[in-house]
């Protein structure tokens, strides 16, 4: 069983699904999953958007996604965009298994 991560942006909920395709794509683009985490920790919007796009297999208007992420704010509480992206990358690093296992 994989551990999907739900992220809410404006009025829409996206499901970040842990897949080998997502892990490989993010690892390749950012030179490793640890680097993705570092870029998210630095609140680099490009990395945050990459995680959301790849994890949700987003096929819509990228500008709308960018606006939704910006409008949601990326930091704040335990449901923030940054926290959800970090959780998702950790799940990828665990082979799709939930963090609580």
In a domain, 101, yes or no: no
CB-CB contact of 54 with 91 (8 Å): no
In a domain, 48, yes or no: yes
50-63 b/e with 16+ CB inside 10 Å = b?
Answer: bbbbbbbeeeeeee
28-73 per-position pLDDT tens digit: 999 999 999 999 999 999 999 999 999 999 998 899 999 999 888 8
In a domain, 100, yes or no: no
Domains in the chain, number: 1
CB-CB contact of 23 with 17 (8 Å): no
In a domain, 99, yes or no: no
In a domain, 75, yes or no: yes
In a domain, 9, yes or no: yes
Could you please report the per-residue DSSP string of 12-25? EEEEE---HHHHHH
In a domain, 98, yes or no: no
58-68 per-position pLDDT tens digit: 998 899 999 99
- Rounded Cα distance, 75 and 78, in Å: 9
Q: Which domain holds residue 78?
A: 5-93
In a domain, 21, yes or no: yes
- The whole-model pTM stands at 0.92
């Amino acid at each position: 069983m994989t551990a999907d991560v739900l992220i809410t942006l404006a009025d829409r909920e996206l499901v970040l699904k842990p897949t080998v395709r997502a892990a490989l794509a993010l690892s390749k683009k950012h030179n490793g999953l640890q680097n993705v985490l570092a870029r998210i920790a630095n609140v680099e919007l490009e990395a945050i958007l990459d995680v959301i796009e790849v994890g949700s297999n987003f096929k819509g208007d990228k500008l709308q996604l960018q606006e939704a992420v910006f409008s949601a704010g990326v930091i704040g509480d335990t449901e923030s965009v940054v926290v959800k992206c970090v959780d998702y990358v950790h799940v990828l690093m665990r082979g799709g298994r939930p963090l609580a296992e």
